[in-house]
Structures are given as structure tokens and as C-alpha cells.
Structure 1
Amino acid sequence: MPITIMGDKEFESVPSLKSKALRINLNANIYGTFAEIGAGQETARNFFRAGGASGTIAKAMSAYDKDFSDAIYGIEDDKRYVTEARLKKMLKHEVRLIEERIKREKHPNKLFFSYANTVATIDFAKKYKGHGWVGIRYQTKPDEDYNEIILHIRFHENDAKLQQMTLGVLGVNLIYGAYYKYDNPKKLLRYLYDHLDKDQIEIDTINFSGPRFKKVDNRLMSLQLVKNGMTEAVMFGPDGNNVLPAAVLYKKNILALRGSFRPVTKVNMDIYKKSLNMFLNENKVNKDKTIEIFEITLSNLRAEGEIDEVDFMSRARLLCSLGQTVMISNFQEYYKVVEYFSNYTKERMALSMGVNNLIDIFDEKYYRHLSGGILEAFGKLFFKDLKVYLYPLKNHKTGKLTTSENLKVHPRMKELYKFFKYNGKLQDIVDYDPTIMDIFSREVLQKIQEGGTGWEEQLPDLIPEMIKENNFFGYKEAEKIQ
């Protein structure tokens, strides 16, 4: 690939869509199928138009009719078609057909692949802009097991034809990246937007699997999506795999706890457990339809302007080990978090935080970019069915506790504060554990890094062992100091 030198930086020139498709077509070993449902056959079309497709495309199909699609791929338990489960069935089914119909003895060097998508484009009323699942199952060596790259997209364009064209470009980028950029998944991810703008399409979930990606942690790939501006928030489950926010949050009661979790302490877990008990006792909160989210903002991951990915993975692995679902977001203000959740549910929500964090919420400087200022922000924050649970703060020197009753806010905010306080929107956590009030993450972190003692007792069970075994947060250096 040609490289243009400009000053002391290198800029790779982006290959054209046609040259990408043609390079795939001219590779005598790459051979597979295209199965596209919901937005034409835009990806396959690019390969047909590039020339030389006869040696690459075994089959291109669109099973648009639901009955016909069910006859090929089976019926989903939820009767839906634009789902990850459907996409995976499509990929596996098409690969199985290739292997059954093309004998390895005759084609020992073939690298089989199946590209598939199942999408819903914008509706006629232009109320729903559409979304979909896109993926590829493929080999990089003939005798190797299959790799998979699966992603979820959201369309932002307001025209179905434009969405189809955008999907076609993304498909070419994915197939090209799968074969020629698999050794650098971070670059592969960025190259998905070649010839595309982030205003056209959003990627909010991606998972890599297979022998080529055995060292890839999908949580780190999630971080790249937010870091690169491909989406505003991503989520991953306790197993470390990325999950689709819409699927996890849909019609759920949501309790969110924001923090740096560097590291997660007994205080964090006490806030979580006590606020969850309060939330489950609220009216209109169904325990079976409740999800708890540990949220880390991008600003909490930055160190000297850059995101420390090793530090991020330390936090992520610790939270996952505690069985938590984690969200990484680009939302600095709390009202944006609530707005985001509101895209997926109309059920009751709650935020849990230390009482000191409430001061930031009532700080006008965070809302100067809004025409309505803090009133607009609070309208967005509290017009939903929202509660805020507050954990008290203990003064180290005096031992005095700060709660919502004696919290000092700016004089201009006093009446606004009283309004929300006495309308039941702000509630103190009263059954807190008084024995852990002196634990602060930053002090624990300092002890870990400087070889201090006693920090183990301030963290949840098994967390200290994980930190030591994996040298999280500079613990390796701390051992040397000791």
C-alpha cells in the first residue's frame, strides 16, 4: 500500500473500493459466498463490478421472503430476523454448504469464507433509521479453523438507498480487512470506515473469535469503538464478550453506578448492593427485568491526554470477575447517560453515586454548551422516571458525614436542589457500612503502586489476589520497592 510522507508523520493512502474488491477477486485462493438479507446485495455487487469475481464468488443470494429464509436457516426462538443469532446461523450454514460441495482434495489451497448480513433499513415513515448485523466467517489457512468477525451497526442516513450503498462499502471494508489486516485488529477496526463517515453509520458492537484472534480481548476492541468515535457507548458482560446495548437494556429497569473503579473497592460494592436493594423496593421495578451497569466514562480512562489501555483492562477484568456488566461511554454529563438509556427503555431508572459527585451535577459550568443551561440538562435528567441514590461522605479529620441533608451547593442552585430533594428524586443510602467509610480508591491505588500495606482488606474478596497475580496497577513495581 502506498505511503505518503508529510512532515514527520506517515499517512497511508486509502485504497479505492474497487481496488479492495479486485485484490480479493485476484487472490486465487479466497473463495466463498455472500448471503445478504434486508438491503439488496450491495456488498456482492461491488465484487461483481470490480471484475474477476468468478474465481471468488461461489454464490450470492438474498433470502428476503421470511418463509423461504426460515426454510434455509431455520426459525428463531424469538421469531426475529435481524439478530446476532440469525447472522451466526447464516454464516455457519453457508460455510457448511461450501465444505460439502467443494472437495478439499481438488482445492487444497482454498480459503473458504462466508459473508452475511441481516439488516432493516429505514422505514417509510422515517421513524426508525434501521440497524443490522454484519459478519464474516473465514479461513486464513486451508487447514486452520474458522475465524469470525461479527458487528452490529446503526444507520444514520435518512434514505434507504443511501443506507444500502453504505452497507455495501462497509461489507467490502470488512472482507478486505479480514484477509489483509487481521494481524492488527485495531487497524482493521479503523479501516471499516474507509470511504465512510461516522455520520453515515455507527458500529456499537464487535466481537472477534477464532485462531487468528485468540489473543484479542473483545473488551479492548469495545474501547476502540468509543475511542475512535464510532459509537458513544459500548457494553460487555461478565464473560468479557461485547454485548449489544439495545438487547441488554431493552424494556429494563436500569441501575447505573459510575466510577473510576481504579481499583474497585468495598465501598463501590457497598454502594452497589445497598442502592440495588433500594431500587428493587421501588414501585414499578421488576427484579426479573432489572439490570445493573457499572459505567466508566472515557475521561476516567485518560492519563495525560491518552487512554491507558493496560489500566483499562485491569479495571475491566476486575469488574467482570465480580459478575458485573460494564459500560464504557463518552458521556461526561449524567443527563446524557439517562438520555442514552431512554433510547431503549421507558421503565424506571436510577443512578447511584457518592454524595460528593452530586456537587458536579449542580455545577453550571458543565451545561454552558446547552442553550437552556442547567435547567435544560435537569429537564433531560429528571423528566424521566429517575431516582438518584446517594452514599454519604466521611470527613477524614472531623469524622462528620455529608449527606443530601447537609450538602452545600452553589447559592444559585439551592432552590433547584431543594426542589428535587423534596420531590423524592434524591435519596440517601442510610444502611451503609460505617466500617469502610475511610476507604478511597486513590489511596488504595497509591499503596499498591508504592508498596504499601493493608490495602488488601479494603477490596472485595479475590480482587487482591487478581491484582498481585496479574501485576495490575503497577503492582510489579511495588514488589520491587518492598
Structure 2
Amino acid sequence: MSSVLKKDFAFENIPSTKAKTLRINLNPDIYGTFAEIGAGQETARHFFRSGGASGTIAKAMSAYDKDFSDAIYGVENDGRYVTQARLKTMLSHEMGLMEERISREKHPERLFFSYANTVATIDFAKKYKGHGWVGIRFQLDPDQKEFDEIIMHVRFKQNEARLQQETLGILGVNLIYGAFYKYHKPRKLLKYLYDHIDKDTVEIDMINFSGPNFEKVDNRLISLQLIKNDMTDAVMFGPDGNNLLPAAVLYKKNILALRGSYRPVTKVNMDMFEKSHNIFMNEQTVNPDKTIVIFEITLANLKASGEIDEQDFMDRAELLCSLGHTVMISKFQEYFRLVEYFSNYTKAKIGLTMGVNNLVEVFDEKYYRHLSGGILEAFGKLFFKDLKVYLYPMKNEETGQIMTSNNVKVHPRMKELYKFFKYNGKVMDIFDYDPEILHIFSRDVLKKITNGDKDWEKMLPEGIAEIIKRKELFVRKADKK
């Protein structure tokens, strides 16, 4: 690693935007290219204006015309240019040129980087606020064979293109600065992205770290930081553990969502999924090729025991990912807010799989007192879309009675409202459930695991118990010692 970089670690104060660019410009080893499409040369401009840019900038460019852009980076088959794929192509192309054109013999200490963004700012009608992909490919050692990379997606909240451009410029500076000087503290790097930027002006709803210097970074935990730091309202990650852009995953899709604690995932959870999934796929308007299943956990659930236990979160994520599922963490404690979020990206069918106890809570007025229109406002947002609730039964522990949509007990004031939605086909019972597993609850399984009981394994889906035992999941740290 460059000796200059090592010395720079001594400075821990958060500098101004100009100070950041000047510090990079005066570092004789950092050298790279800027490729910015869609919002102007906003990041490069900061480096040019601070002075000494000739020691940092090999090239700055912006191919606004699509034909020029295609000639440089190739044609996008889907015709879209503000995408992660386009950003990666830009980063790869520009870094390739750096390696090809800058002699290593002449510059053995140079640390190459390629910064790029592809952005659509707010339109003239102010209907679409604007969004973009921003990323950097870089090295921290001149002998580094594999490059490090940070890629993120942003959504603008400002109502003027000029303001969005300014925000993008500062964000780019913060990213480049963080890549070289805060890479060893990715969580702090995440927070520093908002240096001199108000969180109300831009949302970061996805970020991924990759490369040799980020081998120990779990991108699922990084996703959790986005939620904890109020950078976004919801994050998603796939079975491979990499973060996904919710908008891209949900766009024009039929969505089946299952909310739970999954602490741990049980046979009941899987029975709920499988049975509701079968019903959902047989719905007349549902195209299986345009359908996504989301296992959702609320931030409130993660905080149920106080502060978020990150190891507990990772244990849950580990099991759901091992089963091949896409996971979403959200701030949406009320179901109507979850549906409202989905509706931002799709007009297709939405299914919510829930247990009887969850349905009772949906019809509890206390959750809607903060709304001026109360429960009616919430239900207008929840049920007016092409939405259906798939209801999994519950066994009354005292009476042994099976509770379904026909005998569920809601508050007397809510009975007529409940009947209206039920008899209009918004609530559908799951009838082909497994009656032998209705006694299983995640909380009971967790107690058995932590207490060292032996009969919890048969309550879980095949292979899950083996993963829990092998990786010692859901075991208190004190018990592991």
C-alpha cells in the first residue's frame, strides 16, 4: 500500500468537500478517470476547481448522446441506460483503458481508479424525481491483481435538477474519498457518504462492496446499516447474500409477501409459503414468469428485544438465504405501508400471507390513530389495489379450535368492516395446511435451542437444523465460550 495512504490515516476529522478533493489531488499515487452520464460532470468539477487535478485526473468525459455512448460502451439490449449493468460496463471499460494506456514501468506506484455514474435527474414535468447508479473501481496497492469496487443506487428527493446535480457531485467526492481513506471502516464510509448532504435530499437504497479489501464485509449487514442510519425505508438481498435494488426486483411484478420473525424459520413458515404460493400462482391474472416472493422482516421485529442484535439478524438471514429466498428488511410496521411501497413499483397482483393473529392486528384501530382518516384511510391504501390476503389458520391452545376467517374474532366495531372485505374476496383461507404442525411457533423453537433441548430439530424444514448446529446459530455468545 502506498506510504502516502498510510500517513493519511492519521487525519480523522471530517473535512470539507474541497479539502477532500485537494487531499486526493495532492496524493501523487491516486490516478484515474471520471465518466459521468446524465447530470453533467458534477464530481469531476469539484476536483478541477480545488486545484492540482492534473495529478489525479487522467480523463473526464460524458457521452450524453446514446449513439456516442453505445459506440464507447456497447449497446444495451434492453434500451435502458440508467442501470447497474451500464455502470459496471462503464467501470470495466474505463479501468481497462487505464491499464492499457498508463505504463506500469513508468508509474510503478500509481493507484488506479475508475469513477462512474449514470443518472436521470428530475424531468421538466417533475413527475419523476430522478435516480442513478454511482460506483468506483479502484486499487489500494499497485500490485493488486483484483480491483475493489463499491456500487450504489440513489434516489433524488429534490425538486430541481440543479440541486440534484450538486448533490450528486458531493456524493461522488465522498465516495471516492471514502474508497481510498475509509475503506477499512465500511460502516463509517457509509455514513460519510452524507458528509455535507442532507438526508432529506437523497436516498441510498442499495450498496454493495466487493474485492479483496472487502472480503470480510457481509453486504447484508451493510443493508441493515442503510435502514438503521435512515438512509432508506427498505432493503433487499438475494440468496447469494448480495444486496438487490428493490425497484428492479419489484418492477411490474406480481408480489407474494410473507412477514415473519423467522427466528428461526420453521415448518409452519414453509407450509404457509408453499400453500399460499400454490394458490397465488393459480390466480387468473398471475404470470409465474413475472412473480417474486419476498420474505419480509420489519425493523421493529429486529428491535423486539431492545437494540438490534446483528448476529441474530445474520442467523435469520443465513437460514432464509440457504432456502433460496429473497429477503426484505423494512420500516413498515403497518401492512398498508408495505403495500403502498410495493405499489410504487407495480400495478400487478399483490398477495399477503399471514396468520390469524396478524389479521386480527390489521383490524386493530390503535395502529391507525396517527392517520387523519384513521383505519378507513389505511384500508383504502391496503385493499383498493389488486390485493388478497392468504390466511393461515391458528389452533386455539386452550380450546383446540381451529381459527379461520370464518370464526376469527375482531373488535365489535370492526366486524362490519371485516365482513365487507372478506365477502368481497379480499381474504382467502388456506385449507390444505398441515394440521400436525400448527403447534409450532418460532419463539418456542428458539427457547428449546437456547436451553439445549433436543426435540426442536423436527420442527424445522429439512436441512435447517443441521445448519443451525454446524454454525451454532441462535446460541448466546456466552454459551459459545
Give the alignment's TM-score, normalised by structure 2.
0.96
Task: Note if 1:347 corresponds to 2:368.
Answer: no
Q: Which residue in 2 is equivalent to 1:6?
A: none
Do the aligned partners of 1:94 and 1:114 also contact (CA within 8 Å) in 2? yes
Tell me if the contact between 1:392 and 1:403 (Cα under 8 Å) persists in the aligned partners. yes
2:467 is aligned to 466
- One-letter amino acid of the structure 2 residue matched with residue 404 of structure 1: S
Counterpart CA distance in 1 for 2:477 and 2:171 is: 42
Name the counterpart of 2:306: 305
Deviation at 1:77, TM superposition (A): 1.7
1:404 aligns with 2:397: no
Distance 2:314 2:328 in 1: 13
Look up the match of 1:49.
49
Taking the aligned partners of 2:469 and 2:25, their CA distance within structure 1 comes to 50
Matched with 1:27 is 27
Match in the other structure for 1:244: 245
Aligned ranges 1:305-344 → 2 under 5 Å: 305-344=306-345
1:202 matched residue in structure 2? 203
Residue 101 of structure 1 aligns with which residue?
Answer: 101
1:38 counterpart = 2:38: yes
CA contact 1:87–1:133 (8 Å) conserved in 2:
yes
Cα distance in structure 1, aligned partners of 2:194 and 2:135: 15
The answer as to whether partners of 1:451 and 1:478 remain within 8 angstroms in 2 is no
1:443 aligns with 2:444: yes
Partner of 2:6: none
Answer yes or no: is the 8 Å Cα contact 1:448–1:475 preserved in 2: no
Instruction: Give the match for residue 295 of structure 1.
Output: 296
Are the structure 2 counterparts of residues 320 and 50 from structure 1 closer, same or farther at C-alpha, using a change threshold of 3 Å? same
Cα distance, 1:29 vs structure 2: 0.4
SS at match of 1:108: coil
1:9 maps to what in 2?
none
Q: Distance in 2 between matches of 1:13 and 1:361?
A: 48
Sequence identity percentage: 75
Q: How many Å apart are 1:279 and its aligned residue?
A: 0.8
Letter of the 1:260 counterpart: S
SS of residue in 1 equivalent to 2:475: helix
Aligned to 1:283: 284
| Cα displacement string for residues 139-176 of structure 1 (whole angstroms, at most 9, x for unaligned residues) | 01111121000000111101001000000010000000
Instruction: Evaluate the alpha carbon distance shift between residue 141 and residue 82 of structure 1 in structure 2; reply closer, same or farther with a 3 A threshold.
Output: same
Aligned residue type for 1:392: P
Cα pair 1:467 1:475 within 8 Å, conserved: no
**Residue 392 of structure 1 contacts residue 401 of structure 1 at CA under 8 Å; is this kept in 2?**
yes
- The 8 Å contact of residues 450 and 478 in structure 1, kept in 2 or not, is answered as no
- Correspondence list, 1:169-180, <5 A: 169-180=170-181
Matched residue, 1:5: none
Alignment of 1:409-424 (within 5 A): 409-424=410-425
Post-superposition offset of 1:321: 0.6
Give SS of 1:474's match: coil
Q: Which amino acid aligns with 2:400?
A: G
Matched residue type, 2:87: L
Unaligned runs of 5+ in 1: 1-11
State the partner residue of 1:124: 124
Q: 1:175 to 1:276 in 2, by over 3 A?
A: same
Change (3 A) 1:215 1:71: same
> Secondary structure of 1:28's match?
coil
Whole-angstrom distance in 2 between the partners of 1:246 and 1:74: 24
Name 2:78's counterpart in structure 1: 78
Report the Cα distance in structure 2 between the residues aligned to 1:376 and 1:313, rounded to whole angstroms.
36
Instruction: Check 1:95–1:80 CA distance in 2 against 1; reply closer, same or farther (3 A cut).
Output: same
Equivalent pair of 1:449/1:477 in contact (CA under 8 Å): no
- Deviation track 1:38-88 (CA, whole Å, cap 9, x = no partner) reads 000010000111111110000000011100000000011212111101000
Q: In 2, Cα distance between the equivalents of 1:146 and 1:421? A: 56
Aligned partners of 1:393 and 1:401 also within 8 Å: yes
Q: Give the aligned residue type for 1:342.
A: S
- Which amino acid in the other structure matches residue 356 of structure 1? N
Aligned residues between the structures: 469
The aligned counterpart of 2:9 is none
Mapped contact 1:73–1:89 kept (Cα < 8 A): yes
CA–CA separation in structure 1 for the residues paired with 2:414 and 2:388: 19
Deviations 1:7-47 (A, max 9, x none): xxxxx753110011111111110000000000000100001
1:246 match: secondary structure: helix
Match runs of 1:98-247 below 5 Å:
98-144=98-144, 145-247=146-248
1:396, distance to aligned residue in structure 2 (A): 2.4
- The alpha carbon displacement at 1:271 in A equals 0.3
Displacement of 1:304 after TM fit? 4.1
What CA distance in whole angstroms lies between the structure 2 residues aligned with 1:229 and 1:90?
30
How far apart, in 1, do the equivalents of 2:223 and 2:480 lie?
32
**Which AA in structure 1 matches 2:248?**
A
Aligned to 1:8: none
Partner secondary structure for residue 306 of structure 1: coil
Which amino acid is the alignment partner of residue 314 of structure 2? M
What is the rounded CA distance, in whole Å, between the counterparts of 1:364 and 1:303 in structure 2? 21
Distance 1:223 1:476 in 2: 21
SS at match of 1:33: strand
Distance apart, 1:359 and its partner CA: 1.1
Q: 1:100 is paired with a residue of what secondary structure?
A: helix
**Unmatched 5+ stretches in structure 2:** 1-11
| Secondary structure in 2 matching 1:473 | coil
| Residue pair 1:451, 1:479 contacting (<8 A) in 2 also | no
Q: How many angstroms does 1:305 deviate by?
A: 2.9
Return the alpha-carbon distance in structure 2 between the equivalents of residues 13 and 367 of structure 1.
44
Q: Secondary structure at the match of 1:357?
A: helix
- Residue 447 of structure 2 corresponds to residue 429 of structure 1: no
Equivalent-residue separation in structure 1 for 2:351 and 2:288 (angstroms):
14
3-state DSSP class of the match of 2:49?
helix
Deviation string, structure 1 residues 219-269 (Cα, Å, up to 9, x no partner)? 111111111110100111111111111111111100000000000000000
RMSD: 1.2
SS of the aligned residue for 1:158 comes to coil
Amino acid at match of 1:240: G
Structure 2 counterpart of 1:4: none
1:280 positional shift:
1.1
Distance in 1 between the 2:177 and 2:469 partners? Answer: 41
